Amino acid sequence: MPKKDTALKIIPLGGLDGIGKNMTAFEYGGDMVLVDAGLMFPDEGQPGIDLILPDYTYVLENEEKLRGIIITHGHEDHTGALPFLLQDLTRKVPIYSSKLTLGIIEGKLAEHNIRSPKFREVSDGSTITLGAFTITFFSMTHSIPAAFGVFMSTPAGTVMHTGDFKFDQTPIDGRRPNFQAINKFGASGVDLLLSDSTNATRPGFTPSEAAVGRDLRHVIKNAPGRVFVAAFSSHIHRLQQICDASVAVGRKVVVTGRSMLTNTKVARELGYLSIDEENIIDAYDVDRIPDDKIVVLCTGSQGEPLSALARMANGEHKSLSIHESDTVIISATPIPGNEKSVQSIVNSLSKIGCEIFDKSKGLVHVSGHASQEELKLMLAMAKPRYFMPVHGEAQHLRAHAELGVQMGVPAERVFVLDNGDSLEMVRHKVRRGRAVESGVVYVDGGTVTEANPMVLRDRQKLGADGVVSCTVVVSKRSGSVSAVEVFGRGVSSSTDELLGGEAQKLVRAQVEKLAKSDGSSIEALRRGVRNTLSNLLWNKTHTRPMIIPVVMEV
């Protein structure tokens, strides 16, 4: 039995250094509960990387304590690390979430050949016991249906985790946030509040999702040709509004993009997305329908290079293409780091000459996250004794911390942490604890690997200036050079010209000079080749390609 002074540990392993990789461990004595297991997508500075995951070494080291995994909602920044975590665990651990979220997760796990996971469906008001933890789920509104916050009760005290949320009073599915539960928990005592910080720098209230429907319908109704709408495939409420607007103005809906096809199928099967079969057509049947009777629902709102929108914009989609008479709606805001990718697609679409609508041209997107006044309202209802902002970049966490102080939480009781830091709660009092191993791991070519800055630097160098390979054959006895071959890949034309003449002469001279001196090793000869070529290329072309020297003694 844990002692009275046993600490509840709150350990964020991800989610405090950007939008993504959300994962927090809660540990009391011999029991641990994990809330969310998300991923982050790479940016341009991480070439070749497929996905970024939180380093969950701490969870694996304490696997025997892990009683369950709670997933607050179905977005990939909260679910995407699950397949990798489950493969690394040595036993099946129960996963608790809504019917929709579990349906989305099931598809992801199947892609990784993970069969028969221990799913446990919960709903608004469900209460479960996991070791020393008593956990109650309460409904929140977000940009995906069936999102939850959680309230945890332990012998050390209580914690409320909001999950991702906004206070939408007119949600598409009619399921409002459970204000009654939040007020009830606040009245009974919330020792520590963990709250979504994504929009903590944005004043006011976040508009309702319903507001988007009016603008979407107007654009779809008045478009002269086909309408292509790019949205998050998990944004089921947005997809419902697009379908409703399309049907209302007499247009058929085409769905394209792997994740869009998967998520719309799951949402329809589970009753979260409603559209009659007669109003959906296959992409291959588009040609038999007039252009002004078609809406194409597609992936690509974040500029993903292999998404349906990107392939259509570049004329590479197998069954659909975009024409000058068409209209494209980008119904999303770029995630930080994706701005250039989105702009690249917009430029490709602009060359086609089609009409493009994004947030700057109308209310075709609203955020799924609470703005400042909603965050204040959450603080007012929960009345936390201690406060920890989560889910955001440093600026968001700091801004949210300031809101907490404004709402009456003493500054010394507001904690802005980094991933791997921890808090400890003993007898309802919270203090900073010891840090644990944390960081990121990469999914590179389908394999999970530790973050290696040198590998990324090499890839950036290859992408920027190319590679030069130099092979030298030198006599072990005389030190004379019998052959020098220098060639480049991905180098500039001026560099290519140097490699055929001047570079070979300089390398030959340098190697013979070094080889005929006493005690020159193969490594010294390689270093001489690298330095000679590096200096030549920088002086002549101001480029620094990767140089691979090969020296063979005969």
pLDDT in tens, 179-229: 999 999 999 999 999 999 999 999 999 999 999 998 999 999 999 999 999
Q: Please provide residue 395's backbone torsions phi and psi, each rounded to the nearest 5 degrees.
A: -65, -35
Between the CA atoms of 7, 11, 16 and 17, what dihedral angle is there, to the nearest 10 degrees?
130
Same domain, 498 and 526: yes
2 within some domain:
no
Same domain, 461 and 444: no
Same domain, 129 and 249: no
pTM beyond 0.85: no
235 is in an annotated binding site: yes
Q: How far apart are the first and last CA of the chain?
A: 73
Same domain, 14 and 158: yes
147 within some domain:
yes
Same domain, 354 and 375: no
52 within some domain:
yes
Q: What CATH number is associated with residue 413? A: 3.60.15.10
204 is in an annotated binding site: no
Same domain, 285 and 141: no
444 is in an annotated binding site: yes
CB atoms near residue 231 (< 10 Å): 27
Question: For residue 352, what pLDDT is reported?
Answer: 96
Same domain, 57 and 194: yes
Among 417, 450, 483, the domain-final residue is 450
50 is in an annotated binding site: yes
Count Cβ neighbours within 10 Å for each residue of 97-133 and write b for 16 or more, e otherwise. Answer: bbbbbbbbbeebbeeeebeebebeebebeeebebbbb
Same domain, 235 and 319: yes
What is the span of the domain harbouring residue 376?
8-204+367-450
- The count of structural domains within the chain is 3
Same domain, 347 and 383: no
75 is in an annotated binding site: yes
Burial class (CB in 10 A: 0-12, 13-18, 19+), 451: middle
Would you give the DSSP letter of residue 206? P
Evaluated on CA atoms 162, 166, 167, 168, the torsion sign reads negative
Report the alpha-carbon distance of residue 358 to residue 228 in Å, rounded.
Answer: 12
Task: Please state which of the ranges 57-71, 311-325, 411-425 shows the lowest mean pLDDT.
Answer: 311-325
Residue that the structure tokens 């002004």 belong to: 292
Instruction: Give pLDDT tens digits for 277-305.
Output: 999 999 989 989 999 999 999 999 998 88
Same domain, 220 and 154: no
Instruction: Give pLDDT tens digits for 482-536.
Output: 888 888 887 777 666 767 778 888 888 888 888 877 667 888 898 898 999 888 8
Confidence of residue 464 (pLDDT cuts 50, 70, 90): confident
Question: For residue 43, what pLDDT is reported?
Answer: 65
CA 105 to chain centre: 15
CA 164 to chain centre: 14
233 is in an annotated binding site: yes
199 within some domain:
yes
Same domain, 160 and 171: yes
Residue 434 has pLDDT above 60, yes or no: yes
Instruction: Give pLDDT tens digits for 328-344.
Output: 999 998 877 788 889 99
Residue 176 has pLDDT above 90, yes or no: yes
Question: For residue 482, what pLDDT is reported?
Answer: 86
Residues taking part in catalysis = 196, 369
Same domain, 272 and 157: no
Mean pLDDT along residues 134-142: 98
317 is in an annotated binding site: no
Burial class (CB in 10 A: 0-12, 13-18, 19+), 203: exposed
Residue 445 has pLDDT above 70, yes or no: no
1 within some domain:
no
